[in-house]
Amino acid sequence: MGKTYEVLTSALQEWIAQQNIFFVATAPLAPDGHVNCSPKGGDSFRILNDHQVAYHDLTGSGVETIAHVRENGRLNIMFCAFEGPPQIVRLYGQGEAITSDHADFAELSALFPPNPGTRSVIRLNLNRITDSCGYAVPLMDYTKDRDILDRWAETKGTAGVIEYQRNHNQQSIDGLPGLDTPS
C-alpha cells in the first residue's frame, strides 16, 4: 500500500539521490491538449528543502513542460527504482520555469554543472508526496549517462542554441507560449 508524506523525509531524499532517471509529466488546461511525459537524467535534479525541488532544464526538441507550467503550474515528477528494492516516488505540486531573466536564475543554475544548452531551471513547490510499491517495474542495469545533448549544445555554441530555441522552443505542440528567447 502506498504512503503519503507531509515532507520529503531524509530517507526519501537519500533514495531519490540514488536514482539515475526521473520522469516529468505535465498537461495543458485544454481537454484536447497533449499530455507530456519527459525522461530526465544526468546530474540534473536537486532537493532544495523538504518541500521544494528543482531540475536543470536543457534545450530540447519541444518546450511542453515550460509551456504547461506557465499556463497552469501543474507538474508531477516520478522516480522509479530500476535497481535494488522496488519503489516509486511521485512528487506533485506547482512548478515554475526559472529562465535567465528571473531573479533566482543565477542562484539556482549554479547548483548544476554549467551547460551551454541550459534553457531554464524548473522549480517545484511540493503539495503532495507519495510512494508506491513498484513491483512491476523491471530491473535494469545502469551503464552511464549519455553526453549527446551536452556535445550538441557545445557544438552549437551559445548563439546556435539561442537560434535553435527561436526556431523550436517558442510554443508548445498545442500552440501555448513556450520559451522567450532573446531577439
Q: pLDDT tens-digit profile of 151-168?
A: 999 999 999 999 999 999
Q: What is the mean pLDDT of residues 173-177?
A: 96
pLDDT greater than 70 at residue 9: yes
Q: What is the mean pLDDT of residues 22-49?
A: 97
pLDDT greater than 90 at residue 143: yes
CA 137 → CA 11, 120, 141, 162, 172, distances in Å? 20, 30, 13, 38, 30
Q: What is the mean pLDDT of residues 107-122?
A: 97
Predicted pLDDT of residue 118:
96
pLDDT band at 71 (very low <50, low <70, confident <90, very high): very high
Cβ-Cβ contacts under 8 Å for 29 (sequence gap 6 or more): 71, 72
What are the grid coordinates assigned to 81, written together?
527504482
pLDDT band at 103 (very low <50, low <70, confident <90, very high): very high
Mean pLDDT score of the chain: 96
Closest CA to 121 of 130, 129, 113: 113
Predicted pLDDT of residue 18:
96
Q: How many other β-carbons are positioned within 10 Å of the β-carbon of residue 110?
A: 9
Beta bridge partners of 58: 118
Predicted pLDDT of residue 66:
98
Q: What domains appear along the chain, each with residue ranges and CATH number?
A: 3-168 (2.30.110.10)
Q: What is the mean pLDDT of residues 29-35?
A: 98
Q: Look up the pTM and report it.
A: 0.96
pLDDT band at 182 (very low <50, low <70, confident <90, very high): low
Predicted pLDDT of residue 183:
55
Q: What is the mean pLDDT of residues 51-73?
A: 97
